[in-house]
């Protein structure tokens, strides 16, 4: 059943031993320039509150923290990330719904470009804009940077709120097709990663490993689906080959949202030609290719599952370009999965450093209430809460542009009445959305766990209806590769339903109420059941339990109805580009092209930044990146 044997040392004896490391991380970051109003950081180190101790407050995101163990000391081995947080004033509250700390002073100022939100899209956009020489300010509602990719700490466990599956983050500058890596290269930053190759799938017909290597992958398809499934897989690979080639030769970094794209794309003559020849297929649904050659039910289920974990949609709705990149990566011959030491906040910290060292600012606890519109164009943002001396609202004025990294729905809510045509507003608000999440963040005893415990596990209770609630569950145990994320002898476990939890089930419940608590227990049951397939006695091992819900997502990620993102089917539409009908208002993030996921959000940030940059600067950046 297994595609390849595990080479790793026992996870129980020494979690994280025998780890393959990527390139060394970037040199220590320069000290951040801290303004009185500036509060810059991400990750657990920045956790601070006036209400609770630093070991507890992040758990407030989850309401009640269930713990059977005392607070643990922070492991000595965890990498310190220099931030400006230490210099930030004490915050008055840990609730991002409340106004930001009043002691932080007047944040009003003028800059070139304001970016609303510090998700991966917003940070990548800001980093590139700063690299292009613009003065940028990122305003983030939360007390952590990173959006879905932020990390938080409870009792010595350093949890990632969202993404944990990354590829193409390692290697020297210019070596990766991952837009996030290209942004990091552009600002002279890097992240050190553990490299590995496998994840485990628990299906109704058995458990198997997926290995990110073309031959091992095919071999596994034969074992699980049989010879006919393999034959059809080979046929699919053949159909995908020209699409892969098109995707490979035309980097996302060359895209801009104005006619200048004719020139930047012109650099990639053969790639452009190749991409042009297959453009219809690339921008259509993956099913247009799959339906030509795949009928085997097991293989169709497998492809649906692959699509679902990428886009939150199945083969019939997922854009083919997204899958072309996946085939490309798997067939590259040097494909690995990268886990950044320190978790997703390591990426966020690197982006923040990249922004700062190019003169930009990231302001946390700075919720934007409204996009300021003057003379029929975006002119800045008005912040919530504080009033500047004299009772003036705090406004950050933008000479050149405002870029919104908030979701398509949330961006509309920031616009004054009549700022954009009613039809555009309605279309944006009507954008279909994927479901939300239920999370279990656990601290567990690692003693005596079997050798070769893998980091990623995917449980599919049924081999169809992957979008159905509670069918697909993701499990991640990052301490397998980075033991410093938990106290000694412990594992950190994150399990979640994958963008298929209906918001409606939770709508109207009061956080902290008995009903909410009961609902958490009820809806977390499938997560526990999935976890028991990986670690049968997990309940007895667990000393810390946090349950996150769609309400948590809505509140802490500032995402409309806690959604994973837009469910825009490639059959009927496409994700929008960076421009909007309101002059000087742009957008980025996973509500924009190319779509959901960390590389895609990074690409959207790149595209927005390129669109704002002069053509010549964009050209020079492509030269500098060796693209
Ligand atoms: C649980 C989970 C697991 C995932 N796993 C993976 C994975 O393994 N691999 C992968 O590639 N992708 C994964 N994804 C998807 C990926 O994380 C997201 O698509 C991506 O991080 C989204 O980035 P973004 O820039 O669109 O914005 P977001 O992360 O949504 O950030 C937007 C930011 O804007 C801020 N904001 C919104 N409104 C305002 C306002 N009015 N004022 C100020 N700030 C505001 C928010 O607070 C937030 O910080 C996962 C997502 C989740 C939720």
Mean pLDDT confidence for 429-456: 95
Q: Are residues 305 and 218 in the same domain?
A: yes
Ligand 1: residue of 96, 406, 437, 547 to mutate (most ligand atoms within 8 A of CB) is: 406
Q: Is 550 left (phi over 0), alpha (psi -120 to 50) or beta?
A: alpha
Residue 54 in this model has a pLDDT that exceeds 50? no
Which ligand 1 atom minimizes the distance to the CA of 439? 1
Could you tell me the distance, in angstroms and rounded to a whole number, from the CA of residue 276 to the centre of ligand 1? 31
pLDDT interval class at 388 (50, 70, 90): low
Which ligand 1 atom minimizes the distance to the CA of 366? 43
CA dist., res. 385 & res. 394, Å (int): 8
Ligand 1: residue of 561, 598, 602, 604 to mutate (most ligand atoms within 8 A of CB) is: 598
- Nearest C-alpha neighbor of 283 from the set 580, 577, 611: 577
What is the reported pLDDT for 386? 65
Of 22-31, 110-119, 362-371, 584-593, give the lowest mean pLDDT range.
Answer: 22-31
Share of the chain above pLDDT 70, in %: 81
Q: Are residues 38 and 120 in the same domain?
A: yes
Q: Of 360 and 102, which is predicted with more confidence?
A: 360
Q: Are 169 and 114 in contact (CB under 8 A)?
A: no
| Helix/strand/coil for 298 | helix
Instruction: Single out the residue in 300, 329, 358 at which a domain terminates.
Output: 329
Q: Are residues 91 and 225 in the same domain?
A: no
Could you tell me the distance, in angstroms and rounded to a whole number, from the CA of residue 213 to the centre of ligand 1? 29
Could you tell me the distance, in angstroms and rounded to a whole number, from the CA of residue 148 to the centre of ligand 1? 3
Residue 171 token pair: 């290697």
pLDDT interval class at 252 (50, 70, 90): confident
pLDDT interval class at 55 (50, 70, 90): very low
Output DSSP code: residue 319.
B
558-578 per-residue burial string, b: 16 or more CB within 10 A, e: under 16 = bbbbbbbbbbbbbeeeebbbb
Q: Is residue 518 part of a domain?
A: no
Could you tell me the distance, in angstroms and rounded to a whole number, from the CA of residue 117 to the centre of ligand 1? 9
What is the reported pLDDT for 48? 25
Residue 40 in this model has a pLDDT that exceeds 50? no
What is the reported pLDDT for 601? 97
Q: Where are the beta strands (DSSP E) in 312-454?
A: 337-340, 361-363, 368-374, 377-388, 392-404, 439-445
Which ligand 1 atom minimizes the distance to the CA of 123? 25
Residues with beta carbon inside 6 Å of ligand 1? Answer: 116-122, 139-142, 147-149, 162-165, 367-368, 405-406, 410, 414, 437, 496, 557-559, 564-565, 589-590, 596-599, 601
What is the reported pLDDT for 465? 93
**Structural domain boundaries, residue 179:** 20-49+75-193+341-431+569-624
Nearest CA to ligand 1 atom 5: 163
Ligand 1: residue of 62, 143, 163 to mutate (most ligand atoms within 8 A of CB) is: 163
CA dist., res. 164 & res. 453, Å (int): 16
- 159: domain CATH number is 3.50.50.60
pLDDT tens, residue by residue, 3-39: 222 222 333 334 544 456 664 433 333 322 222 233 3
Q: Are 104 and 67 in contact (CB under 8 A)?
A: no
CA dist., res. 504 & res. 562, Å (int): 11
Under 8 Å CB-to-CB from 451, ≥6 apart: which residues?
A: 6, 8, 9, 10, 11, 12
Q: Are 597 and 590 in contact (CB under 8 A)?
A: yes
Q: Are strands 109-116 and 136-139 parallel, antiparallel or unpaired?
A: parallel
pLDDT tens, residue by residue, 139-172: 999 999 999 999 999 999 999 999 999 999 988 8
Q: Helix %, strand %, coil % for the chain, to 5?
A: 35, 20, 45
Instruction: Single out the residue in 329, 357, 380 at which a domain terminates.
Output: 329
368-396 per-residue burial string, b: 16 or more CB within 10 A, e: under 16 = bebbbbeeeebbbbbbbbbeeeeeeebbb
Instruction: Find the distance separating the first CA and the last CA of the chain, reported in whole Å.
Output: 40
Could you tell me the distance, in angstroms and rounded to a whole number, from the CA of residue 120 to the centre of ligand 1? 7
Which ligand 1 atom minimizes the distance to the CA of 146? 49
Residue 585 in this model has a pLDDT that exceeds 60? yes
Could you tell me the distance, in angstroms and rounded to a whole number, from the CA of residue 386 to the centre of ligand 1? 26
Mean pLDDT confidence for 118-146: 98
CA dist., res. 99 & res. 108, Å (int): 15
Q: Of 84 and 245, which is predicted with more confidence?
A: 245
Mean pLDDT confidence for 39-50: 31
CA dist., res. 623 & res. 535, Å (int): 49
Q: Where are the beta strands (DSSP E) in 189-266?
A: 193-196, 198-203, 206-211
Ligand 1: residue of 42, 117, 587 to mutate (most ligand atoms within 8 A of CB) is: 117
Q: Is residue 599 part of a domain?
A: yes
What is the reported pLDDT for 13? 35
Q: Are residues 254 and 184 in the same domain?
A: no
Q: Are 114 and 381 in contact (CB under 8 A)?
A: yes
Q: Are residues 381 and 249 in the same domain?
A: no
Nearest CA to ligand 1 atom 4: 163
Q: Is residue 12 part of a domain?
A: no
pLDDT tens, residue by residue, 293-319: 999 999 999 999 999 998 889 999 999
Q: Are residues 39 and 154 in the same domain?
A: yes
Q: Where are the beta strands (DSSP E) in 155-289?
A: 157-160, 166-167, 193-196, 198-203, 206-211
Residue 517 in this model has a pLDDT that exceeds 70? yes
What is the reported pLDDT for 400? 98
Of 218-222, 223-227, 278-282, 320-324, give the lowest mean pLDDT range.
Answer: 278-282
Which ligand 1 atom minimizes the distance to the CA of 605? 25
Mean pLDDT confidence for 37-55: 30
Residue 423 in this model has a pLDDT that exceeds 90? yes
Which ligand 1 atom minimizes the distance to the CA of 165? 8
What is the reported pLDDT for 271? 61
Q: Are residues 289 and 387 in the same domain?
A: no
Q: Are residues 181 and 258 in the same domain?
A: no
Ligand 1: residue of 146, 147, 414, 606 to mutate (most ligand atoms within 8 A of CB) is: 147
Residue 270 in this model has a pLDDT that exceeds 70? no
Output DSSP code: residue 125.
H
Q: Are residues 295 and 324 in the same domain?
A: yes
Mean pLDDT confidence for 366-389: 91
Residue 469 in this model has a pLDDT that exceeds 60? yes
Q: What is the mean pLDDT of the chain?
A: 84
For the ranges 211-215, 222-226, 392-396, the one whose mean pLDDT is highest: 222-226
Q: Is residue 56 part of a domain?
A: no
Nearest CA to ligand 1 atom 13: 163
pLDDT interval class at 598 (50, 70, 90): very high
> What's 136-154 look like in SS3?
EEEECCCCCCEHHHCEEEE
Mean pLDDT confidence for 244-266: 85
Q: Are residues 186 and 222 in the same domain?
A: no
Could you tell me the distance, in angstroms and rounded to a whole number, from the CA of residue 557 to the centre of ligand 1? 7
- Nearest C-alpha neighbor of 213 from the set 321, 299, 307, 336: 336
Residue 115 token pair: 């970016």
Q: How many helices (H) and strands (E) does the chain have?
A: 18, 21
Which ligand 1 atom minimizes the distance to the CA of 145? 49
What is the reported pLDDT for 67? 52
Q: Is residue 148 part of a domain?
A: yes
Nearest CA to ligand 1 atom 48: 147
Nearest CA to ligand 1 atom 19: 597
Instruction: Single out the residue in 329, 356, 383 at which a domain terminates.
Output: 329
Residue 45 in this model has a pLDDT that exceeds 50? no
What is the reported pLDDT for 498? 80
Q: Are residues 184 and 100 in the same domain?
A: yes
Of 127-141, 301-315, 325-339, give the lowest mean pLDDT range.
Answer: 325-339
Residue 356 in this model has a pLDDT that exceeds 90? yes
What is the reported pLDDT for 415? 98
Q: Is residue 601 part of a domain?
A: yes
Under 8 Å CB-to-CB from 259, ≥6 apart: which residues?
A: none
Which ligand 1 atom minimizes the distance to the CA of 565? 19
Kind plus residue range of the DSSP H or E element containing 335: none
Residue 173 in this model has a pLDDT that exceeds 90? no
- Nearest C-alpha neighbor of 603 from the set 227, 176, 288: 176
Q: What is the DSSP annotation of 431-468?
A: --B--B--EEEEEEE-TTPPBT--SEEEEESSSS-TTS
Could you tell me the distance, in angstroms and rounded to a whole number, from the CA of residue 375 to the centre of ligand 1? 32
Q: Is residue 236 part of a domain?
A: yes
Share of the chain above pLDDT 90, in %: 69
| Helix/strand/coil for 157 | strand
Residue 62 in this model has a pLDDT that exceeds 80? no
What is the reported pLDDT for 19? 58
What is the reported pLDDT for 251? 84
Residue 326 in this model has a pLDDT that exceeds 90? no
Evaluated on CA atoms 383, 389, 392, 398, the torsion sign reads: negative
Residue 531 token pair: 């976890």
Residue 626 token pair: 């060796």
The count of structural domains within the chain is: 2
Could you tell me the distance, in angstroms and rounded to a whole number, from the CA of residue 225 to the centre of ligand 1? 35
Could you tell me the distance, in angstroms and rounded to a whole number, from the CA of residue 176 to the centre of ligand 1? 22
Q: Are residues 139 and 271 in the same domain?
A: no
What is the reported pLDDT for 174? 83
Q: Is residue 581 part of a domain?
A: yes
Place of tokens 């006695």: 537
- C-alpha to C-alpha distances, 307 to 5, 198, 523, 598, nearest whole angstrom: 26, 18, 24, 15
Could you tell me the distance, in angstroms and rounded to a whole number, from the CA of residue 154 to the centre of ligand 1? 21
CA dist., res. 235 & res. 216, Å (int): 17
Nearest CA to ligand 1 atom 6: 163
Q: Is 626 left (phi over 0), alpha (psi -120 to 50) or beta?
A: left
Mean pLDDT confidence for 251-261: 90
pLDDT interval class at 246 (50, 70, 90): confident
């Amino acid at each position: 059943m297994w595609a390849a044997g595990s080479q790793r040392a026992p996870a129980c004896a020494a979690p994280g031993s025998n780890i393959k490391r990527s390139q060394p991380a970037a040199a220590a970051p320069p000290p951040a320039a801290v303004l009185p109003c500036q509060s810059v950081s991400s990750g657990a180190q920045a956790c601070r509150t006036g209400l609770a101790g630093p070991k507890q407050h992040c758990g407030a995101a989850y309401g009640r923290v269930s713990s059977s163990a005392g607070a643990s000391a922070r492991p000595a081995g965890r990498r310190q990330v220099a931030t400006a947080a230490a210099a930030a004033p004490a915050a008055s509250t840990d609730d991002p719904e409340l106004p930001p700390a009043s002691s932080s002073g007047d944040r009003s100022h003028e800059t070139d470009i304001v970016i609303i939100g510090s998700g991966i899209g917003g940070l990548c956009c800001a980093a590139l804009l700063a690299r292009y020489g613009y003065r940028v300010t990122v305003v983030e509602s939360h007390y952590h940077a990173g959006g879905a990719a932020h990390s938080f700490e409870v009792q010595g466990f350093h949890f990632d709120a969202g993404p944990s599956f990354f590829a193409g983050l390692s290697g020297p500058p210019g070596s990766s097709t991952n837009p996030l890596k290209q942004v990091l290269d552009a600002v002279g930053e890097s992240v050190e990663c553990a490299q590995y190759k496998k994840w485990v799938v628990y299906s109704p017909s058995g458990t198997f490993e997926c290995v990110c290597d073309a031959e091992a992958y095919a071999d596994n398809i034969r074992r699980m689906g049989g010879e006919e499934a393999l034959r059809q897989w080979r046929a699919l690979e053949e159909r995908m080959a020209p699409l892969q080639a098109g995707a490979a030769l035309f980097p996302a970094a060359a895209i801009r949202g104005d006619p200048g794209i004719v020139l930047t794309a012109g650099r990639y003559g053969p790639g452009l030609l190749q991409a042009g020849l297959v453009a219809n297929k690339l921008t259509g649904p993956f099913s247009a290719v799959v339906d030509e050659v795949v009928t085997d039910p097991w293989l169709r289920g497998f492809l649906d599952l692959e699509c679902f974990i990428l886009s939150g949609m199945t083969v019939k709705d997922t854009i083919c370009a997204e899958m072309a990149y996946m085939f490309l990566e798997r067939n590259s011959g040097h494909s690995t999965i990268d886990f950044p030491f320190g978790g997703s906040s390591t990426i966020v910290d690197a982006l923040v450093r990249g922004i700062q060292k190019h003169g930009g600012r990231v302001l946390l606890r700075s919720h934007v209430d409204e996009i300021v519109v003057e003379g029929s164009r975006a002119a800045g943002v008005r912040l919530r809460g504080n009033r500047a001396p004299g009772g003036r609202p705090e406004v950050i004025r933008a000479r050149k542009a405002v870029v919104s990294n908030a979701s398509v729905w949330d961006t509309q809510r920031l616009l004054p009445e009549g700022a954009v045509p009613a039809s555009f507003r309605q279309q944006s608000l009507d954008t279909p959305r994927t479901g939300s999440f239920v999370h279990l963040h656990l601290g567990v005893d690692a003693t005596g766990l079997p050798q070769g415990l893998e980091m990623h596990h995917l449980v599919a209770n049924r081999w169809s209806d992957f979008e159905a609630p509670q069918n697909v569950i993701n499990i991640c145990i990052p301490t397998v590769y980075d033991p410093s994320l938990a106290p000694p002898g412990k594992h950190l476990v994150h399990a979640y339903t994958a963008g298929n939890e209906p918001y409606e089930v939770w709508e109207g419940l009061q956080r902290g109420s008995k009903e909410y608590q009961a609902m958490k227990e009820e809806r977390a049951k499938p997560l526990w059941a999935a976890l028991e397939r990986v670690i049968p006695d997990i309940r007895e091992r667990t000393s810390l339990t946090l349950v996150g819900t769609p309400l948590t997502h809505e509140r802490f990620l500032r995402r409309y109805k806690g959604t994973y993102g837009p469910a825009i089917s490639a059959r009927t539409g496409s994700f929008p580009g960076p421009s909007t009908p309101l002059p000087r208002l742009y957008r980025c993030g996973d509500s924009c092209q190319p779509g959901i996921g960390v590389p895609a959000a990074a690409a959207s940030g790149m595209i927005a930044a390129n669109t704002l940059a002069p053509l010549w600067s964009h050209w020079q950046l492509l030269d500098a990146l060796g693209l």
